[in-house]
Structure 1
Amino acid sequence: MLPKTSNDSTDNDDRDNVLVIYANSLGLLIKHGFRVEALDPTIVAKMWTLDTQDNVLMADDNVDTRKLRPDKLASVLTTRLRIHNELARLLGEEESREGAEAGARRRPVNIVRNTKIQSVDVNAGRVTAVDGREFAGDVIVGADGINSMVRAAIQEAASAPASLPQHTGMVTYLGDLSAEQYAQVFPLHLAQDNTGPVAIQQLRPTMNSRRPIDATNDFRRMWTFAYDCDRRVQLSAVAPDAKWLSRMSKRTILSNVDAREVAEDFADFGESTQKLIQMCPRWDVWLLRDLDPLSTWTFGKAVVIGDAAHAIQPHVGQGCNQAIESAEVLGHFLHRVAREDVSRSLSSFVRLRQPRAQIYQIASRHFGGSLRPEEEAILGQPMDLDFETYLQLTADWNGAEAAVKAGKVQIMPRHYEQFVKLAK
């Protein structure tokens, strides 16, 4: 592994973001030794939907995947750092750090941190760092994010069009509070049973409570996510990006922005929203970007996964989960594969993963209101895709082995033909 930093944070962000791990992805991690308790998880049991004046539109417990799965496995909220730490333990890095002087076992994965990549040769299977070091292997797995150098190298070698991050026209504001502070504003989220709170989505009154689309095309909303076993709450607010573009020409994240600038974008929301915004000690703003569905994920000895292959908007909470699914499927096809069969295995991986991941890319644009005109023309409006159908699809995926045995990819039962047209 060649992470570009010395730790688990990125170069331009020190916030520990909250992520949802859906039950199907959590099940895949557990099969590989993941300890759920290490995540300090909050169980996803219910979602409250409110209008902008704090009126409850819906208290939905259909998000509880324990009701959908035979194994009763829950979906959970946790933080990125806790996921990274548990992955490091599984790779053996933690044991090596703690027991180096005692002769700890050699970790199965060699992690070379602080490696800045200069070039990628997908035909030779070679990566060159800016300091001149070279790393070679049978497969280059590009999990290097939305600005992926591996993706660029694959597309250049394959003479495919270059895929650049696409602006969605929106930003996300991120803030954080203690559960005690949050309860001063929204005590209703503590009135549930011991499964705890999950998310509150504040929408305009004219919006359909299940599909956040209205005639005014106003897609602002605020989500609140409980985490750390319900001890803290992260706020995620989505708004247009117009006032930020000139200030973020060379970066996609700004830290410690003035709460008054956040409040401006939600001035017509209720008093509770204004209180939450002012109570947060820190707000960061992120430009929301995604990728158009790619035709080429692999070439030569290289393949891309995660955001490098299928960057997804956050509206359906699938960025982390699709990366987990891709990693599990890739591991399935590369397990004990002969060197001469690597290329065939990479192609099998793409055939299985690409349709499902690209459907989520388009679904996230649908729920976020950023479908292109040509996409809307193919899909039609209003699109008959509700959140319960989406959740059932997510819960039904049980990994590569099950999908291969079934002989097909589990996909959305409705709109499949339209989605395939868009993915192409």
Structure 2
Amino acid sequence: MGADAARLQILIVGGGLAGLAAASFLREKHEVTVLERSKLDFSRNDYAMSIAPNTHRLLLDQGIEDSQLKASPMTYVWRGGSDGKVLSESLSESLARFGATTIFTRRSRLHAALHGLATGDSRPGQPARIIEEVKISKVDVAGGMIKAESGETYRGDLIIGADGINSAVRAAVLLANSDSVNGAAPLLTGVAAYQCTVPIDVLRDDPSLEFATGEKSGMGSFHGSEPRTRVLFFPADEENLQVVAYHPENDWVAQFEQSGSSIIKDIPAERAVQDFLEFHPSLQNLLTSATTRDVWRIRDLAQLPKWHSGKAIPDRRCRACCYSAFWSGMQYCHRGWRGARLLPRKPSIRGTDTCSARIFRDDPYPSRAYGAVSVSSCRWTADRGRAEECGTVQLPGVRGKTLWIYFR
């Protein structure tokens, strides 16, 4: 097979972390177009997130240094109760076990770095073409065609869905496989998360929390008497701290429904503290010290019975859709890169990927190679992510093991 014959026209729906990660690899051997529904704004709804060792190693391999991300390493994990007392201190073993550290960085910096990999001149192949403000009205999975509300059409040999929790590609695949879009809509977990950023000096100036400063960079996790209530903090960079405080969403349901949004912005400090009255004043102070606080509704997605249809591959995300300390950066980037590595003439990470790449080369429908890969790792991550974010909640329509609260 000649080089031109192996070259595919690939449409990636979604210019977020997963979409740009996939585009950065696929551009080496294929023609890649990214369709983004909005104007790319790296700073919108920005927050700190973790990059697990496997993804961190991939970033380093592509020349993205920690200094570019202004990243902070995770050296320790502290666990405690609502009284603020530390019950355990664990030294991170990720470097020794995986050859790279877990790091924390802002989503905006990671997004910008991936955009550079996908569109810049540092990587082989033709830069990915990114088309912004494309509102999709139809996805034809059999014909490999996407129609926009503007009337424009885009065609490809392969459509990759990386378009988030309200995915048009996911809905189209469900419809093609079962004549129904049941399962496309997000599932409610009953949990919300307060998100805010505070100066790291808040820790340094508090004798109860100064243990997490200096060389002991990492994540603190303090849980309440209600399994779904906890306060987490971890560095956003050298100057700032990310705070994520989980609580049942009961008092916010009406406002979420009325606004039609999963994010409620600018929550008053005194209102935020009301949900964490059992917590030590030092932990409450993490919420009150922020300039602004937002509440995010945590939603989930049921696993698909089939991971492809025709020429389309949906996002394999099947986990709680929030941005916890351990799951977001790893899932978004590694999901995008791992899917990209299934395509022809690409090096594989695992033996199953090599097998799938062979299937791909002999199959007129490229999406089947992706579907041939075992989804066990996806389900494992789903269970771990839900346990981290949703406590012991078992969601209707979600396959998986019994959930437990697990802090790494």
Q: TM-score range by the shorter chain?
A: 0.7 to 0.9
Match of 1:295 in 2: 305
Distance 2:325 2:54 in 1: 15
Q: When the two structures are superposed, what TM-score results if normalisation uses the length of structure 1?
A: 0.76
Write the letter of the residue equivalent to 1:267.
L
Match of 2:247 in 1: 239
Deviation at 1:32, TM superposition (A): 3.6
Match of 1:147 in 2: 166
Deviation at 1:217, TM superposition (A): 4.6
Q: Does the 8 Å contact 2:82/2:278 carry over to 1?
A: yes
Say whether residues 1:120 and 2:119 are aligned partners. Answer: no
List gaps (5 residues or longer) in structure 1: 96-104, 205-215, 389-424
2:97 equivalent among 68, 84, 92: 68
Instruction: List, as ranges, runs of 4+ consecutive aligned residues in structure 1 with deviation greater than 6 Å.
Output: 337-340, 373-378
Query: After alignment, is 255-264 or 322-331 more displaced?
Result: 322-331
Write the letter of the residue equivalent to 1:218.
P
Match of 2:114 in 1: 87
Say whether residues 1:202 and 2:234 are aligned partners. Answer: no
Q: Secondary structure at the match of 1:132?
A: coil
2:380 equivalent among 359, 367, 372: 359
Within 5 Å, which residues of 2 pair with 1:22-421? 22-61=52-91, 63-69=92-98, 71=99, 73-93=100-120, 108-159=127-178, 161=180, 162-163=182-183, 164-185=185-206, 188-189=209-210, 194=215, 196-204=216-224, 217-228=226-237, 230-249=238-257, 250-305=260-315, 307=317, 312=321, 314=323, 317-336=326-345, 341=362, 345-352=366-373, 354-367=375-388, 368-372=390-394, 379=401, 387=407
Structure 1 residues 314, 50: closer, same or farther in 2, change over 3 A? same
Aligned CA-pair RMSD: 3.0
Match of 2:38 in 1: 5
Distance 2:399 2:158 in 1: 39
Deviations 1:223-278 (A, max 9, x none): 111122x2110110000101111111111101111111110100111111222222
Distance 1:169 1:332 in 2: 36
Q: Does the 8 Å contact 2:229/2:245 carry over to 1?
A: yes
Which of the pair is proportionally richer in helix? 1
Write the letter of the residue equivalent to 2:175.
E
Q: Does the 8 Å contact 1:3/1:114 carry over to 2?
A: yes
Structure 1 residues 356, 160: closer, same or farther in 2, change over 3 A? farther
Deviations 1:44-82 (A, max 9, x none): 110122221211111111x3411322x3x1110001111
Distance 1:312 1:355 in 2: 19
Q: Does the 8 Å contact 1:330/1:346 carry over to 2?
A: no
Structure 1 residues 190, 269: closer, same or farther in 2, change over 3 A? closer
Write the letter of the residue equivalent to 1:278.
T
Q: Does the 8 Å contact 1:311/1:319 carry over to 2?
A: no
Deviations 1:188-232 (A, max 9, x none): 4456663x421111123xxxxxxxxxxx6532001111122x211
Deviation at 1:160, TM superposition (A): 5.8
- Give percent identity, aligned residues only: 24
Write the letter of the residue equivalent to 2:241.
V
Distance 2:396 2:187 in 1: 15
